[in-house]
Amino acid sequence: MTTAAPPVSDAPAAAADPRKSVVRALMPRSLGGRIGLALLVLIALPCVVTLPWALQNYDAQELTAERSEAAPSAAFPMGTDRLGRSLLYRCLMGGVISLGVGVSAAAIAVCIGTAWGMTAGFMGGRIDSVMMRIVDVLYGLPYILLVVLMNVAFRPFIEAALTATMGAAVAGSIANVLTLLLAIGAVSWLTMARVVRGQALSLANQPFVEAARCLGVPTPRILLRHVLPNLTGPIIVYATLTVPQAILQESFLSFLGIGIQAPVPSWGNLASQGTEQLVTFIVAPSNMKWWLLVFPCLLLSMTLLGLNLLGDDLRDRLDPRANRGGEND
């Protein structure tokens, strides 16, 4: 996702711009990684680019009974849903929401996981074992329960805060999306914490950290200036792999009816509505409204595939724990 953004450089001396070289380092090298990036650009970009238009037209979607569940045509490339809304529009908007939830939840998970793992690994000793036992115990809890309970717990506060600043009509929907991403982010950081902790543990005994400590650099500064930069590799890798996980969880929850609620679309709840077509398919295949199932599922799967391909590419190059080169990959 982030790699898809063009390098932000306002200076003509781009070769010397360190940000540009970071972007270059993140560009995929393998065929798989390139396919992944291409898939993401192809799917995510239209979703994001059309967002202003989609928001503007959100209220203007006509609900027309006679156009209900129309097959794909020139006017409606992906057909229409039961209420006669364009499925293309729903998928574009749903994409923004799914991707948004995925990326922000992953960002939350990365922040918590990095902070937790770095502290545990760097401090070592008793602090480390207590912090990691907490992670172990949290691993023992079923995530869906945590997500749902947190969703219920956060919801009233966020909804109240939003209703105060904007209209109650919009507040409900936005609160729904916000609580969901908070809840998913708050439970997805465990793997990140373990990975970062392992790295931080080995960094803590490196000579340059020793040197910094001898020079009297305060611990927070050592963590931020000396340890964190050395953790960028694994962090980026696992962040890329956390995004598809978060999107997947959003879609599962929406599928189960406890995620994003209608009328707000997400790939998860669109696909879940589409699966109702399966019953029709088994009873009478010719009556099946296939587009309702195929398009959301296809978009969701292709995005996840793209993110995984990109994550694998990055992992092979950046993660010191990954396989040491050789015959494969």
* Residues making contact with other proteins (CB under 8 A): 32, 136-142, 144-146, 148-150, 152-153, 156, 244, 248, 251-252, 255-256, 258, 268, 271-272, 275, 278, 281-282, 285, 293, 297, 300-301, 304-305, 308-309, 312, 323, 326-328
CA 261 to chain centre: 18
Nearer of residues 81 and 316 to other proteins, judged by Cβ: 316
Q: Which of 262, 129, 83, 111 is nearest to 182 (CA)?
A: 111
Compute the chain's Rg from CA coordinates: 23
Nearer of residues 173 and 275 to other proteins, judged by Cβ: 275
Residue 309 to residue 39: CA distance in whole angstroms? 10
Burial class (CB in 10 A: 0-12, 13-18, 19+), 249: buried
Q: How far is the CB of 233 from other proteins (least distance, A)?
A: 18
Nearer of residues 138 and 174 to other proteins, judged by Cβ: 138
Instruction: Write 217-225 long-range contacts (CB < 8 A, 24+).
Output: 219/122, 222/122, 223/118, 223/119, 223/122
Nearer of residues 217 and 258 to other proteins, judged by Cβ: 258
Q: Contact, 233 vs 258, CB < 8 A?
A: no
Q: How far is the CB of 234 from other proteins (least distance, A)?
A: 17
Instruction: Name residue 86's beta-bridge partners.
Output: 80
Nearer of residues 20 and 290 to other proteins, judged by Cβ: 290
Q: How far is the CB of 216 from other proteins (least distance, A)?
A: 35
Q: How far is the CB of 61 from other proteins (least distance, A)?
A: 26
Residue 142 to residue 145: CA distance in whole angstroms? 6
Q: How far is the CB of 201 from other proteins (least distance, A)?
A: 14
Nearer of residues 233 and 259 to other proteins, judged by Cβ: 259
Q: Contact, 320 vs 199, CB < 8 A?
A: yes
Q: How far is the CB of 302 from other proteins (least distance, A)?
A: 8
Hey, how many other C-beta atoms are within 10 angstroms of the C-beta on 124? 14
Residue 1 to residue 314: CA distance in whole angstroms? 13
Nearer of residues 22 and 138 to other proteins, judged by Cβ: 138
Q: How far is the CB of 166 from other proteins (least distance, A)?
A: 24
Question: Who's near 28: CB < 8 A, 6+ residues apart?
Answer: 3, 34, 36, 37, 309, 310, 313, 314
Q: How far is the CB of 270 from other proteins (least distance, A)?
A: 12
Nearer of residues 113 and 223 to other proteins, judged by Cβ: 113
